[in-house]
Amino acid sequence: MDRRNVLGIGLASIAASLPFVRSKAARAQSGDVQAHGDSWKLSGAYFEACSCEVVCPCIFQSAPSHGDCSVLYTWHIDEGRSGDVSLDGLNVALAAFADGHMQKVKWKAALYIDERATQEQFAQLKRIFTGEAGGFPAALVGFFDGFLGVKQAPILYMASGKTRSVDIPGIMQAKVHAIDGQAGGDTVVSGHPLGLAPGNPLIVAISDDVTLTDYEWNWKFSGRSGGYSPFQYQSS
């Protein structure tokens, strides 16, 4: 079995084992529920920034550094398709908050989809990233208590050298840079059970600045955990 599939199933298995994650979304990833709609496939790059100290202990199934975890995830889709709908070049962002150990509490989440998406593209990305279409996102959504909202917004994703950033004007800004490892190489974590890009090593980063003002949230932190890597997702 492909290593990406093994790790993806691993996250779904973790989700399915938790008392509060008995959802259709979590079961879809592990094959218990047949996902509805067109088959789909996405690949590109993603980065994350959270309020934990470097490296975020949540990805190792440990408690957050400061009792809770506020995290931003941003994806840039290089190549994507759902049915006959192209999703190339679009961006998606997700904000989530866990008020305690990520495996012991329900997360609150908010989803942001590129304003450049057509109505049809928006519908497909919403279906995928809210877990309705199965695949890896369904396992992730299995940890959520639902979404505070799903919005279209201008999402400015930038990747330059060892720096990654996102800007949603008036809502979100985040920037991280990779931590130099031995001999100036990357510092890398691989095989972590709560990885957002199964099968891809995470390049460890630290945040320069992270802000979010939306819904009930008003986040501001810097010098905290971050990371980035390629990603590949597809329907179950």
Q: Identify the weakest region by mean pLDDT among 3-12, 56-65, 86-95.
A: 3-12
Q: What is the per-residue pLDDT for 235?
A: 95
Q: How many whole angstroms separate alpha carbon 229 and alpha carbon 50?
A: 15
Q: pTM for this structure?
A: 0.87
Reported as a single tens digit per residue, the pLDDT across 102-142 is: 989 999 999 999 999 999 999 999 999 999 999 999 999 99
Q: What is the per-residue pLDDT for 11?
A: 54
Q: What is the per-residue pLDDT for 236?
A: 80
Sort 83 into a burial class: Cβ within 10 Å, 0-12 / 13-18 / 19+: exposed
Token couple for 169: 């004007």
Reported as a single tens digit per residue, the pLDDT across 16-72 is: 444 434 344 444 444 333 345 689 999 999 999 999 999 999 999 999 999 999 999
Most confident of 8-12, 13-17, 75-79, 195-199: 75-79
Q: What is the per-residue pLDDT for 38?
A: 84
Sort 136 into a burial class: Cβ within 10 Å, 0-12 / 13-18 / 19+: buried
Cis ω before 166 (30° cut-off from 0): no
Q: Which amino acid is at 126?
A: K
118: number of Cβ within 10 Å: 11
Q: How confident is the model at residue 7 (pLDDT cuts 50, 70, 90)?
A: very low
Token couple for 185: 């190489």
Token couple for 142: 């299995």
Q: Are strands 188-189 and 202-214 parallel, antiparallel or unpaired?
A: antiparallel
